[in-house]
Amino acid sequence: MYNEIDWEQIDLTAKAPLEGPKRQYYFMARCRELVRKEAESLGRPLTFFVTTFGCQMNARDSEKLTGILLEAGYLPAENEDADFVIYNTCTVRENANLKVYGHLGLLKHKKKSKPHMRIALCGCMMQEPLVVEKLKNSYQFVDLIFGTHNIFQFAELLARTLESRKTVIDVWEGTQEIMEDLPVERKYPFKSGVNIMFGCNNFCSYCIVPYVRGRERSRKPEDILQEIKTLANDGVSEIMLLGQNVNSYGKTLKEPVSFAELLRQVEQIEGIARIRFMTSHPKDLSDELIEVMKESKKICRHLHLPLQSGSTRILQAMNRRYTKEQYLELAEKIRREIPDISLTTDIIVGFPGETEEDFLETLDVVRRVRYDNAYTFIYSKRTGTPAASMEQQVPEDVVKFRFDRLLMLVQEHARRQTARFAGTVQEVLIEEVNKHDSSLLTGRMGSNLLVHFPGDASLVGSIRSVQLLECRGFYYMGRLLQAGASVFHVSK
């Protein structure tokens, strides 16, 4: 695991070590020198600002970027008026790309009045050659561009950027490398994401992830367990195991380990009170996993199980490898085995060739599964994916009409499902002082629902029992119970 770096031990007059974390520590030391000199000439410390788009994986990657920027001697800034600005991009839908270009347009002006400012771009969008080409031609003020596969090289790339006036571009097509032992700065002291695998092998026909994140690679269980033990020692009580398809974790390891087995081992780690994971593919969700969840005292009663479509025909065109009936059976089995579970999902509307009948099948699944929440997306055409060249793209107005109907149904169920907890006592992880009313705290239940209740800021980071008094649509108002008070129903 990463320990404090002893900067005195690093000899910058020597050549950089050839590989591994030592090489990156060397470049961190070099960045420290460069940042110190620039700060001296400006007469003030240098600052940085990281903007993250997209999923939990990117959020975790941004914590890694932040860890290195802090080691390099930058101080965090409140906004993009910083000396080093980096966008960790997402390209899963077109919208995310457009936002990045919007931000860059604004930065161009800032940089004119602040020539020493450095602008960097990384993440999934950079893995697309057409994007990099566009940046090279029309956004020449960008100083550094790198992708998802060499994020572990960030210290080295940062040093190159600070030493050069030319744009540094380094995007890899893929990698087998998983580098451990680099600094990470967590956003929350009490909870953390933990990567258990990278990439995806599923090739759902609409999805760009396998092209930009590469093939599936699992971290070794011993590295994962060691990281979680270190996090627990550092005060973390909730972890979220991260992977595009956690249910196929460990299959490609030299000594294969199932995801359920990994969970069993994580459960043993002292100090960790709550375990979450994201994302599960329905086709790989095993009975063993349901069993482990059922027996576990720490795994939260929440499962995110992307449906994408309720029509078997569309599911087939999406290459999801399950039918409507198989999905419904699985959801039923999970609800039967773990009755207090919260189920959430992702749904895409307007996949090429989707007819009204197909869409009605999706509504039917939503009605039957009674999701606690669903993330609904309008299909976005991603160049290079098989779906992009499919005929029968659905007209925009038809998609919009379907999307609105889906959203209404999803919200109706979410309200109903949320209300089922009224009056119960839940264990919540207190995450923050309420942003709108500082006399209130905000806590997250195992089901992922939020509850607001009066309390003191000193409780942030602790797990407490809260009685749910009033349901307000998608969240609750509640009352903190004193430690040791009698409770009649507690769930994780």
Binding site for ligand SF4 (CB under 6 A): 200, 202-204, 207, 209-210, 244-245, 281
By CB under 6 A, residue 306 contacts ligand 5AD:
yes
Residue 433 corresponds to which tokens in the numbers above? 């002082």
Rounded CA gap, 132 and 124, in Å? 11
Q: Are 46 and 34 a contacting pair, CB within 8 Å?
A: no
Q: Given candidates 58, 247, 311, 380, which one binds ligand 5AD under the rule CB under 6 A?
A: 380
What count of Cα atoms within 13 Å lies in the side-chain half-sphere of residue 321?
Answer: 10
Selection from ligand 5AD, ligand SF4, none that 50 binds (CB < 5 to 8 A by kind) is none
| 377 makes contact with ligand 5AD (CB under 6 A) | yes
Instruction: Return the closest-CA partner of residue 83 out of 71, 69, 97.
Output: 69
d(CA 350, CA 376): 11
* Distance, CA of 416 to CA of 391 (rounded, Å): 38
List the beta bridge partners of residue 465: 427
CA-to-CA separations, 208 to 69, 92, 128, 293, 383, in angstroms, rounded: 29, 6, 10, 31, 8
Binding partner selected for residue 379 from ligand 5AD, ligand SF4, none, CB under the kind-specific 5 to 8 Å limit:
ligand 5AD
Closer to ligand 5AD at the Cβ: 107 or 330?
330
Is residue 327 within the footprint of ligand 5AD (CB under 6 A)? no
| Least distance to ligand 5AD, CB of residue 218, Å | 20
Query: Which one of ligand SF4, ligand 5AD, none interacts with residue 344, CB within 5 to 8 A by kind?
Result: none
- For residue 65, the partner it binds in ligand SF4, ligand 5AD, none, with Cβ less than 5 to 8 A by kind, is none
Does residue 74 touch ligand 5AD according to CB under 6 A?
no
Torsion of CA 351, 245, 346, 146, to 10 degrees: -70
Beta carbons of 314 and 364 less than 8 angstroms apart: no
Q: How far is the CB of 228 from ligand 5AD (least distance, A)?
A: 25
Beta bridge partners of 374: 345
92 contributes a contact to ligand 5AD by CB under 6 A: yes
Q: In the set 267, 291, 340, 346, which binds ligand 5AD (CB under 6 A)?
A: 346
Contact stretch for ligand 5AD (CB under 6 A) within 3-11, 24-32, 258-266, 377-385: 377-385
Question: Nearer to ligand SF4 by C-beta: 348 or 466?
Answer: 348
Contacted entry of ligand 5AD, ligand SF4, none for residue 377, CB cut-off 5 to 8 Å set by kind: ligand 5AD
- Residues 212/175, Cβ–Cβ less than 8 Å: no
- When the beta carbons of 352 and 478 are compared against ligand 5AD, the nearer one is 352
Length of the chain: 492
> Whose CB is nearest to ligand 5AD?
346
Separation of alpha carbons 240 and 256, rounded Å? 21
Q: Which of 379, 421, 453, 476 binds ligand 5AD (CB under 6 A)?
A: 379
Instruction: Give 252-313 as a DSSP string.
Output: TSSS---HHHHHHHHHT-TT--EEEEE---GGG--HHHHHHHHH-SSB-SEEE---B-S-HH
Q: What angle in degrees, to the nearest 10, is found between the helix axes of 154-163 and 56-71?
A: 50
Q: How many chain residues interact with ligand 5AD (CB under 6 A)?
A: 12
377 versus 475: smaller Cβ distance to ligand 5AD: 377
**Contact partner, 245, from ligand 5AD, ligand SF4, none, Cβ < 5-8 Å per class:** ligand SF4
Contact partner, 210, from ligand 5AD, ligand SF4, none, Cβ < 5-8 Å per class: ligand SF4
DSSP state of 490: -
- Under the binding rule (CB under 6 A), the answer on residue 276 touching ligand 5AD is no
Report if residue 207 touches ligand 5AD, rule: CB under 6 A.
yes
93 binds ligand 5AD (CB under 6 A): yes
Is 160 one of the binding residues for ligand 5AD (CB under 6 A)?
Answer: no
Choose from ligand SF4, ligand 5AD, none: what does 200 bind? Cβ within 5-8 Å by kind: ligand SF4
Q: What contacts 24+ positions apart, CB below 8 Å, involve 316-321?
A: 317/205, 317/351, 317/352, 317/353, 317/387, 317/390, 318/204, 318/205, 318/206, 318/348, 318/351, 318/387, 319/202, 319/203, 319/204, 319/205, 319/386, 320/204, 320/282, 320/283, 321/202, 321/283
Which positions touch ligand 5AD (CB under 6 A)? 92-93, 206-207, 306, 308, 346, 348, 377, 379-380, 382
